[in-house]
Amino acid sequence: MELDTNSHPHRRLNIMTGEWVQVSPHRTKRPWQGQEEHTSENDSQSYDATCYLCPGNDRAAGSSNPEYQSTYSFINDFSALLPDSPSEEFNHRDLLVAKGERGICKVICFSPRHDLTLPEMEQSHIEDVVDLWVHEYRELGEKPFVNYVQIFENKGEVMGCSNPHPHGQIWAQETVPEEPAKEQIQFKKYFDTHGRTLLEDYLEIELETKERVVTENDDFVVLVPFWAFWPFETIVISRRPFARLTDMTVDEKRSLADIIRKLTIKYDNLFSIPFPYSAGHHPAPTDGRDHPEWHYHMHFYPPLLRSATVKKFRVGYEMLANPQRDITAEYSANILRESPDTHYKSNNNING
Ligand code: H2U
């Protein structure tokens, strides 16, 4: 019998990490009697006097925010990493091993407006957010002890986001953390053999069929990767294989803002809610090396499965054995592609 990836259980290789994902498309018919998440709309007020991130307000640890008009970043008052902690190693008989880790954590506010999320923001305001990401990547990456700058956003209560005010975080640190480190190995292996970036060649294949492509513009393509784990996971890949956020041209920065707007509008429209996710940039490490193998991209990992209230849990087999998904990447890509381009709350048309 020939393998039909639309109906037969199979495994797909995540070429970016070298790890396998179990796909079980025949399971999508099972009934659901488990937990349903409650949905939360955005706050409707543009300023909240009790919000730690609104302009002019006091923060939890005593400092206060300026009356910022656009974007604003500050050192996280509860930073997980500190710039002056010892970076010595500890090793007891190769069994108890630890190493000090230095770093800097920042919070970045996307807008002075408490009630907006990225898909509801004007294109020009998302461009300001892109400029801030580039600025922070440059400034933090230039610090001699910083070898990786991880910029990310947790959106929605279900993802553990602490505050509806639109914001993200940055953790810049000495060590290249696990996820980009896995990609670094895979990218280098591929580049050394083929002389092209792994994502450049992968994108070429995806653009032949467009089966998993969700949306695209002149400089970026959004697709559900062949090996996606989260039901509506996507990756944003630059058409030109550049490595760093600071390598983007003015046009590419504009295009990045545009593609993020397009994608997040589609996400919100999927279940007519502010769609929760963890998303982040994977630019090259800032370790002073050139990294011709690296290809800039962004990951979006949304937790929802089949409605606004049913979440995917990574438990049981997936904790103990292997990541697994039921609906196929092709099925999800199709749903996302068909998701309307105008935000459900407004006439904010993504083509406008
Ligand atoms: P999350 O919503 O993704 O948790 O990010 C909010 C961050 O903001 C969180 O890391 C920080 C928290 O430590 N924070 C401050 O730095 N100051 C505050 O006054 C409140 C929250």
Tokens of 229: 């784990």
Residue labelled with tokens 């050192």: 75
Q: Where are the beta strands (DSSP E) in the chain?
A: 10-14, 19-23, 72-75, 89-92, 96-99, 103-109, 148-155, 167-173, 213-216, 220-223, 234-238, 277-282, 297-301, 304-307, 310-311, 324-325
The total number of structural domains in the chain stands at: 1
pLDDT digits (tens, 9 = 90+) for 101-116: 999 999 999 999 999 9
pLDDT digits (tens, 9 = 90+) for 176-233: 999 999 999 999 999 999 999 999 999 999 999 999 999 999 999 999 999 999 999 9
Is 162's C-beta closer than 6 angstroms to any atom of ligand 1?
Answer: yes
Catalytically annotated residue among 114, 165, 167, 291: 167
Instruction: Say if 183 falls within a structural domain.
Output: yes
User: Can you tell me which atom of ligand 1 is nearest the CA of 78?
Assistant: 13
Q: Using CA positions, which residue lies closest to atom 15 of ligand 1?
A: 77
Cα(303)–Cα(282) distance, rounded to whole angstroms?
Answer: 20
Beginning with the edge strand found earlier in the chain, give each strand of the sheet holding 103-109 in spatial order: 72-75, 103-109, 167-173, 148-155, 277-282, 297-301, 234-238, 220-223, 213-216
Instruction: Say if 138 falls within a structural domain.
Output: yes
CA–centroid distance, 51 to ligand 1, in Å, is 11
Give me the domain span that covers residue 95. 44-338
Beginning with the edge strand found earlier in the chain, give each strand of the sheet holding 324-325 in spatial order: 10-14, 19-23, 324-325
Residues linked to residue 90 through DSSP beta bridges, in sequence order: 98
pLDDT digits (tens, 9 = 90+) for 150-166: 999 999 988 888 789 99
pLDDT digits (tens, 9 = 90+) for 88-98: 999 999 999 99
Instruction: Judge whether 167 counts as a catalytic residue.
Output: yes
Report the CATH number at residue 51.
3.30.428.10
CA–centroid distance, 344 to ligand 1, in Å, is 29
Instruction: Say if 148 falls within a structural domain.
Output: yes
94: left (phi over 0), alpha (psi -120 to 50) or beta: left
Instruction: Say if 26 falls within a structural domain.
Output: no
pLDDT digits (tens, 9 = 90+) for 308-344: 888 888 899 999 999 999 899 999 999 999 999 999 9
Instruction: Say if 350 falls within a structural domain.
Output: no
Query: Residue 186 belongs to what H/E stretch?
Result: helix 178-194
Instruction: Say if 38 falls within a structural domain.
Output: no
Cα(322)–Cα(10) distance, rounded to whole angstroms?
Answer: 12
What pTM did the predictor assign?
0.95
Choosing from 64, 107, 155 the residue with most ligand 1 atoms within 8 A of its CB, the one to mutate for a pocket test is 107
Instruction: Say if 175 falls within a structural domain.
Output: yes
Residue 352: what pLDDT?
Answer: 46
Residue 162: what pLDDT?
Answer: 78
Instruction: Say if 315 falls within a structural domain.
Output: yes
Is the pLDDT assigned to residue 82 strictly greater than 50?
A: yes
